[in-house]
Amino acid sequence: MTKKFFTRLEDDLNSRKEKYLYRESGLYKNYQHNLASNDYFQLRSHPNVINGIKKACEKYGSGSGASPLLSGFLQCHQDLLDEILNWKKKRSGMLFNSGFVANQALLKHLPGKKDLILADRLIHHSLAQALLQCPAKFKRYGHLDIPELENLLRKYSKDFDTIFVVTESVFSMDGDYPDLKNLVQLKNIFPFILILDEAHGTGVFGKDGSGLAEEMGVLSEVDILVGTFGKALASMGAYVLANNSSIINYLTNVAGEYIYSTFLAPSQVGAAHEAIKLLKNFDKQRDKIRKLSKYFRNSLEQNSLSYESPIIPVLIEDPKETIILRDRLLEKGILVGAVRPPTVPGKTSRLRISLHSGVEKTLVDELLSFLNTWKQNIK
C-alpha cells in the first residue's frame, strides 16, 4: 500500500522534471546582484530596521508566546497596527502571520452562500485557492478587463445578496495594475465590496509609499485592504484593514487562520514598524525605481510600456529555455526568477526581474544586452 503512494509521488516529480517544471529550494551562491527579491528598497539590512528588531526582542522577547486571543497580542502589535491604520487611512484592522493566510481568511469566511465573487483572472494563488473553499459562487473576469467586469456586474447585480470584487494593485508576475479610478466608479452603479491586495504596491506607489490606491485617489473606496510585511517592509506577516469595524470583528471571531496560531514574533513587528517610518520619506528612491522600470520596459519593447512597477516580466514561453537563461545570468553574477507553469499560464514561462533602489542603469543595460543577444540568436 505504501509502495503505491511513494511510486505516485515519484512519478509525478519525474514528470515535472521532464517538462522542466520541477521546483526545488536551495541556496544561490556567487551572485552580485539579486533581482529576484521583493525587497524593493533593500531595507532588510538597513541599520534602523535591524535596530528595530533588537529593541523589540529586548523588550518583548523572541516570540509572542501565544495566539493573539490568549496573550500573544502585545503592545508592539498594537503600535504597528496603529501605524498602518494611520498610514493607509483605514478605521479598523488586524494582523496575520502571512499574506497567504490573510487572503485565505478573507475569502473563506466573509462571502456567504448567497454572495458572488468577481475576481481578476490572474489573482495570487492564495486568493484563487480560497475561491474554491468559500461558500459563495465566483466568476473570473479577464485580466485588468474593467469593461468585462462591468458586464458581469450588470448581469448579476440583482441575483445575489452581496457581490465582492477582488483584485491586486500590482500583480506579482506581470508587474501591471488596474485602473482603480475606473474600477471604483462602477460602485456608483453596482454596489459591491472591493477587496484590494496591495502587497506589491506598498512602498513603491503613493506620495508617502502607502500604495497604488492612495496614488490613484481611491483609498476611501477600497472596502478591504490587504498587504504584507514581506516585500518592501523587509519583514514577515500581513495586515487586513477595513472601513467598517464589523469586518474585522467578524474575522476575529471566525477566522481560524488568526485564532489558532501563535502570533507574529516581536522581531518581525519591530522590523516592519521601522520600515514604514523609512518608506514614508523615500520619495527619491521611489522615483528612481519607477524611472528605471519605465526605461527597462521601453527598451524591451513589450506590451507593458505604461507601467512603472519594479516587477518586469521577460516572456520566454518555453520552460526549458527559461531555466537555461536564468542559469546563464547567474553565471554572470545576476540572480533573476525563472517562473513557469502552473505559477503562470501555459506558454508564458518568463524571467521575472525585480528592480530595487540599489540597481543602476548600467546593470539594466547589461541585462538588455544579454536579452537582445538571446533574441537575435533565436531568430
Q: Which residues pair with 18 in a beta bridge?
A: none
- 221 is an active site residue: no
- 124 is an active site residue: yes
Yes or no: say if 166 and 127 are a contact pair by the CB < 8 Å rule. Answer: yes
Of 77, 231, 288, 356, which residue is the catalytic one? 231
Instruction: Please work out, in degrees rounded to the nearest 5, the angle formed at the alpha carbon of residue 178 by the alpha carbons of 357 and 98.
Output: 60
- 215 is an active site residue: no
Rounded-to-integer distance, Cα 210 and Cα 206, Å: 5
Rounded-to-integer distance, Cα 253 and Cα 322, Å: 45
Query: Which residue type occupies 20?
Result: Y
Instruction: Please work out, in degrees rounded to the nearest 5, the angle formed at the alpha carbon of residue 272 by the alpha carbons of 271 and 275.
Output: 90
- 86 is an active site residue: no
Yes or no: say if 222 and 213 are a contact pair by the CB < 8 Å rule. Answer: yes
β-pairing, 193-197 vs 137-141, is: unpaired
Of 172, 293, 304, 309, which residue is the catalytic one? 172
Of 39, 168, 174, 198, which residue is the catalytic one? 168
For residue 224, the surrounding DSSP H or E stretch is: strand 224-228
- Please choose, from the candidates 373, 352, 353, 350, the residue with its C-alpha nearest in 3D space to the C-alpha of residue 363: 353
The set of cell numbers assigned to 161 is 445578496
- 83 is an active site residue: no
Of 174, 197, 198, 223, which residue is the catalytic one? 197
- 58 is an active site residue: no
- 174 is an active site residue: no
Active site residues: 38, 124, 168, 172, 197, 200, 231
